[in-house]
Every structure is written in C-alpha cells, then in structure tokens.
C-alpha cells in the first residue's frame, strides 16, 4: 500500500503517461529508461512529446473557451530547439522570440511569421530589421529607442518588399492607425510576484518595459506614427509564479492604460518541481486572468498569453549515470555525469528538483546530496533527496527539466551538451545529438 502510494506520488512528477515496468523501473513515453540510456548515453534530456502537445492544447483550447478572440503563444526561450518550435507551431500556437537567434530558429522550424511576437529589452537595429523583413506580426516595444529604430527601418522598407499577405493585413490595419508594422507597448505595472529576484520582471526597477507614465507617452507617440501600427499593450510580471494574484493585478494594470485591440498578458505560471509545490492549474490561471478581463477589457479585444516554463517543464526528464558515491561527515554525495552544464536552474534560481534511481525509483531511500561533475560547490542538482541504495553505474532520473535547461546548457569544464530525445507511444528519436569533443573546437581559429 505504502509502496503503491509512493509510486503514484513519484510518477506524478514525471510526464503524464509515465509508468513503472514489471521490475519497477521508469518507462517514459512507453520506453524503458534503460533502453534510452543505452541508445543515447547519459546525460540525456528525454522529452515526452505527447505531454507537450497535450499542454499546448490545454492552453489554446482553455483560453479560446474563455475568450474566443485569443491566441496562446509559446515563449520559446524556455526550450529553443527547432524540434520544439516545430511541434508547437504544428499545434497552432504563436511563437515568442527574443532576439535574432530565436527568430531565426522559429523561421527555420517553419513557424508562421505573422504569429511571431518579438521581445527584448535590448533589440539591436539589425535584429529589428530581421524581424520586420521576416514579416514578424508583432514587435513588442520595450523602450523609446525601439520606436526610433523601427521608424527608421520602416522608413527605408518599401511596401514592395512585403509579401502580398503582409500588404493586405497592413491595409486592414492602416484603417486603424496608419502604420504597417504591428507593435505592442510593454508595460511594467509595478507588481512584485513572490518568485526569485532573477525571474521577477514586473516591479519598478525592472529593466523590462515602461512604467505607466512612460507607457502612456509611448502609446501617444505610437498613435501618431504613420509607420507603426499600435495594436495594444503587453505585460509579463515574472516566472515560476505559484499564486494567481499577480496575474489578476497585471490585467488590472494594463486595463488602466485604456482601450486597445490587443492585450498580451505574458506568461509566468509556475510548474510543479517538487512534491510540495502546488501551482495553480492552467484552468485556474486562465480563469483568474479572463475573469478580470471580462470586467475591465473591451469585449472585442484580442488576448494573447505567452506560457514558456509551464508549457514544457513537466515534459522533460534528465537522465544521468552515477559516477561516484561518497559518504562521510554525515553526508552521502551521489555524483553524476552531468550537472550545471545541463541544468543551471539550481545555481541561477535555487530551483528545487526531486530525483530518483530510475530503475528502482520507489525503493526505501537514503538522504543524499545529488551533485554534478563540475568544479563548483554550487553544482548541485538536489541538495537533499532520498535515493534508494545509490550505486556507481545506476541511472538517476530528474523530473521536470523541460524548461530552461536546454536553453541554459553550456560547456563548462568542457562538458558536451546532452542530446534531446523525443519519446512517444513506445518509440524514441533524437532531435538534437550530443555534442562531440570536436564540437568544442568548432569555433576555434588556428
């Protein structure tokens, strides 16, 4: 009974559809962990494709049911590899990009340029030009320099360069405000969600967006622009937010700026990383925002949301191999073949992760410190986690690693960045290969 309960609790942190086989080992997307480790080596980032698709539909359908004139957009910085862009574009989501790199990845994956939302607090003229020329539907103005640069770029871009589709959208909207490039103004509502400082973005003092008085000024300036079409306003207050209040407050703040055609309400919903995390459901989150929207926003406005972390986090599982088990001074250090090279969330935001021995995840546990292979004491995957009799060679599974791990992976200590492997219905395929030692020298010049 206790074992069953433990098994259910443990499996609950892994992607939906995760099971245990007859030996008690984890099975991800229908594929036993041992087969994945044998095929692709470790460390490896395993992604359950069905669970990302299900999450995308839950967001898109849930939002449409509450506010039909809407679109869910994937904040791609949470997992910027082309296979993930392709998957979410296939599901009909818009794509958020920050900068020329993510823009290039989105286009390479076949995302519809009209559904791209371009962010950044320091967009260079080159990046803005790339976005305009690609036909990016929406550029989010973060500062007055963005407006200057865009007006300059659009002054030089003749409509002849635009595709027919672009021109026709431009004509419809010209009736509204006169410009051809759709823009939103990013507003800093001065809200402090209860999250880590590094991922809080809505407060006075944030480097992102414009406080209400400056946002009003930007709105006025854009309304007078004959090159830019002010579609509306944008707000994003932070990441890994575990209560609903800041989301409701953000909608109240943008409502104060007046009536617009588009309100982009950002992302930020927290994910469940540990047994003790209880983030709101997608539905509760959507209710919180659309309830305020129904009271305060124009009924015919379009609403965009931009989930990143909560779209992909729970679909990912990192697999490692135990390299050493060291006991002493009251501690058990279980060291694996990865760490801060493939998961910086712990060092950057002190994110807590659970972990399990992948082949006997529910066995009685010893309290361990799960550490990485890098030359820093902060290179810890989990400061305190129960592992069942950990031994050298064991496979360790760390759940909820789909968000911001691939994006922040690096070559510290010459680590080769791990492969990304999609699993689905008992089949598996690598969508990103492991780096080689030769890759580490790829950019070096003689």
Ligand X SMILES: *Cc1c(COP(=O)(O)O)cnc(C)c1O
From 375, 438, 441, 445, active-site residue:
375
- Interacting residues toward ligand X by CB under 6 A: 75, 77-78, 96, 119, 236, 239, 266-268, 306-310
What are 344's strand-pairing partners? none
For ligand X, which is the closer residue by CB, 32 or 267?
267
Answer yes or no: 81 catalytic.
Answer: no
At residue 441's C-alpha, the angle toward residues 407 and 375, to 5°, is 60
Least Å distance, CB 94 to ligand X, is: 12
Least Å distance, CB 248 to ligand X, is: 16
Least Å distance, CB 441 to ligand X, is: 32
For ligand X, which is the closer residue by CB, 173 or 310?
310
Least Å distance, CB 264 to ligand X, is: 8
For ligand X, which is the closer residue by CB, 193 or 372?
193
For ligand X, which is the closer residue by CB, 75 or 253?
75
Do 312 and 81 form a contact (C-beta atoms < 8 A)?
no
Least Å distance, CB 272 to ligand X, is: 14
Candidates 130, 117, 17; CA nearest to 71 is 117
- Residue whose beta carbon is closest to ligand X: 308
Q: How far apart are CA 421 and CA 38, in angstroms?
A: 13
For ligand X, which is the closer residue by CB, 287 or 366?
287
Least Å distance, CB 246 to ligand X, is: 12
Rg (alpha carbons) of the chain, rounded to whole number: 23
For ligand X, which is the closer residue by CB, 170 or 211?
211
Candidates 402, 363, 355, 403; CA nearest to 383 is 355
* Residue 274: exposure state from Cβ atoms within 10 A (0-12, 13-18, ≥19): middle
- Give catalytic residues, as residue numbers: 375
């Amino acid at each position: 009974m206790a074992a069953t309960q433990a098994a259910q609790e443990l499996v609950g942190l892994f992607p939906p559809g995760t099971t245990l086989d007859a030996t008690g080992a984890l099975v991800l997307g229908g594929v036993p962990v041992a087969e994945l480790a044998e095929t692709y080596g470790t460390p490896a980032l395993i992604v359950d494709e069905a669970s990302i698709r299900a999450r995308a539909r839950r967001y898109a359908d849930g939002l449409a049911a509450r506010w039909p004139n809407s679109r869910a957009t994937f904040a791609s910085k949470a997992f910027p590899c082309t296979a993930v862009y392709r998957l979410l574009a296939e599901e009909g989501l818009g794509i958020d990009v920050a900068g020329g790199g993510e823009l290039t990845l989105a286009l390479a994956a076949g995302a519809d340029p009209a559904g791209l939302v371009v962010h950044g607090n320091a967009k260079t003229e080159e990046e803005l030009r790339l976005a305009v020329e690609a036909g990016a539907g929406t550029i989010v103005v973060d500062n007055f320099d963005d407006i200057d640069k865009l007006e300059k770029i659009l002054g030089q871009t003749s409509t002849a360069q635009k595709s027919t589709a672009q021109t026709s959208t431009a004509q419809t909207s010209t009736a509204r405000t006169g410009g051809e490039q759709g823009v939103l103004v990013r507003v800093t509502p001065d809200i402090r969600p209860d999250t880590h400082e590094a991922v809080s973005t809505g407060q006075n003092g944030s480097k992102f967006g414009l406080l209400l008085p400056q946002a009003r000024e930007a709105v006025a300036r854009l309304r007078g622009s004959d090159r830019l079409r002010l579609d509306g306003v944008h707000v994003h207050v932070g990441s890994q937010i575990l209560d609903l209040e800041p989301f409701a407050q953000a909608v109240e703040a943008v409502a104060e700026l007046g009536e617009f055609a588009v309100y982009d309400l950002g992302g930020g919903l927290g994910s469940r990383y540990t047994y003790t995390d209880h983030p709101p459901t997608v539905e509760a989150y959507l209710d919180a925002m659309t309830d305020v929207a129904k009271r305060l926003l124009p009924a015919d406005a379009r609403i965009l949301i931009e989930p990143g972390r909560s779209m992909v986090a729970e679909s990912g599982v990192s697999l490692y191999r135990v390299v050493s088990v060291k006991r002493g001074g009251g501690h058990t250090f279980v060291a694996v073949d990865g760490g801060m090279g493939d998961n910086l969330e712990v060092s950057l935001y002190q994110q807590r992760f659970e972990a399990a021995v992948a082949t006997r995840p529910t066995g009685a546990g010893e309290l361990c410190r799960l550490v990485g292979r890098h030359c820093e004491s902060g290179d810890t995957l989990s400061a305190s986690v129960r592992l069942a009799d950990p031994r050298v060679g064991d496979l360790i599974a760390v759940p909820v690693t789909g968000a911001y791990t691939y994006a922040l992976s690096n070559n510290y200590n010459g680590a080769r960045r791990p492969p990304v492997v999609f699993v689905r219905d008992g089949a598996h395929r690598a969508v990103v290969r492991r780096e080689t030692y030769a890759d580490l020298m790829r950019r070096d010049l003689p």
